[in-house]
């Protein structure tokens, strides 16, 4: 009886050990499987994380705005704005009264007015014929050498041989004009040199002598004006000397009147004790000479 119980106990112990070994083996396999799965999952997560991170970096790089390392300052120059701000030169026809105001009314005639149309072309030459006895020539030339230096040249000539409106006497009339302008820079200062020259001539035939008692006496009367001027303007470059304006002019007529004039106006600006002091000077010279050598005119007539 005792032997049977011992055998049962031994058999039960063996079964228990076998079941424990089996359970432990399953647990080991399970742990090994879990370890492999975990390593695979970890590796996959690492790969996924690396891929996602790489993708995020790529996306960030794709959408990152480009950076311009060139500093943007207020001194950046735009060619279009510079050309728009540059003053334009235009030759304007000026109507000049060819008759002195102290002449008789019959001689106070105004030259024929000509309508000036806008200049659509930078360079042109035009010849026009008004009537069989009138003609004209005008032109305009614009030449730019560089953004700082360019030249403008304009000329105009008109003449009329016949009767002027409002005057019944035969008349010869002519006018010529020339104007040139040169713009450049001198030591970072804008410099403008302009030249203008004009000549007007008129001749009346059969003018009654209003100063004589004999009203039947008729004379021919004419007048000619020549005028030229040379002007120069020097601008500022940011220093204390802010500019200089100078002009030299000449005038003469048919009866020996000659006039020379010169003027110069320098400008300066100083800053002293938070105050701005501006200085302007003016130097002028005028010389006029009269000559009455022409036998057709006296001091009382002119």
Q: Residue 144 pLDDT > 50, yes or no? A: yes
Burial code of 95-122, b = ≥16 C-beta within 10 A, e = fewer? Answer: eeebbeeebeeebebebeebeeeeeeee
Structure tokens at 216: 């039947």
Q: Residue 217 pLDDT > 50, yes or no? A: yes
Mean pLDDT check: name the lowest of 58-72, 172-186, 212-226, 227-241.
58-72
Residue 259 has phi, psi (to 5 degrees) of -140, 125
Return the SS3 of 266.
strand
Q: What is the pLDDT of residue 35?
A: 54
Q: Specify the residue for token string 């030299």.
A: 248
Contacts made by residues 264-268, CB under 8 angstroms, sequence distance 24+: 266/241, 267/241, 267/242, 267/243, 268/240, 268/241, 268/242
Domain ranges of the chain: 1-60, 95-289
What are the helix (H) ranges across 64-177? 79-85
pTM exceeds 0.85: no
Q: What percent of the chain has pLDDT over 70?
A: 47
Q: What is the CATH number of domain 95-289?
A: 2.40.170.20
Q: What is the pLDDT of residue 42?
A: 44
């Amino acid at each position: 009886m005792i032997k049977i119980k011992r055998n049962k106990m031994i058999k039960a112990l063996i079964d228990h050990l076998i079941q424990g070994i089996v359970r432990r083996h399953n647990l080991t396999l399970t742990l090994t499987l879990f370890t492999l799965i975990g390593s695979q999952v970890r590796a996959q997560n690492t790969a996924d994380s690396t891929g996602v991170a790489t993708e995020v970096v790529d996306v960030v790089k794709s959408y990152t705005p480009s950076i311009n390392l060139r500093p943007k300052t207020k001194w950046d120059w735009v060619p279009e704005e510079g050309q728009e701000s540059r003053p334009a030169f235009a030759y304007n026809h000026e109507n000049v009264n060819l008759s002195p105001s102290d002449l008789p009314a019959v001689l106070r005639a105004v030259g024929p007015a000509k309508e000036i149309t806008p200049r659509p072309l930078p360079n042109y030459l035009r010849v026009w014929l008004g009537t069989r006895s009138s003609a004209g020539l005008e032109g305009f030339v614009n030449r730019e050498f560089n953004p700082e230096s360019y030249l403008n040249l304009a000329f105009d000539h008109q003449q009329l041989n016949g009767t002027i409106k409002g005057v019944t006497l035969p008349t010869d009339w002519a006018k010529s004009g020339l104007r040139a302008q040169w713009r450049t820079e001198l030591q970072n200062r804008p410099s403008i040199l302009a030249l203008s020259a004009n000549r007007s001539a008129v001749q009346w035939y059969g003018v009654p002598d209003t100063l004589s008692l004999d009203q039947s006496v008729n004379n021919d009367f004419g007048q000619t004006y020549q005028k030229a001027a040379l002007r120069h303007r020097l601008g500022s470059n940011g220093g204390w000397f802010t500019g200089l304006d100078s002009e030299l002019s000449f005038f003469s007529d048919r009866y020996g009147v000659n006039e020379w004039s010169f003027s110069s106006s320098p400008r300066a600006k100083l800053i002293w004790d938070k105050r701005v002091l501006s200085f302007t000077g003016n130097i002028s010279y005028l010389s006029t000479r009269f000559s009455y050598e022409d036998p057709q005119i006296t001091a009382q007539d002119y």
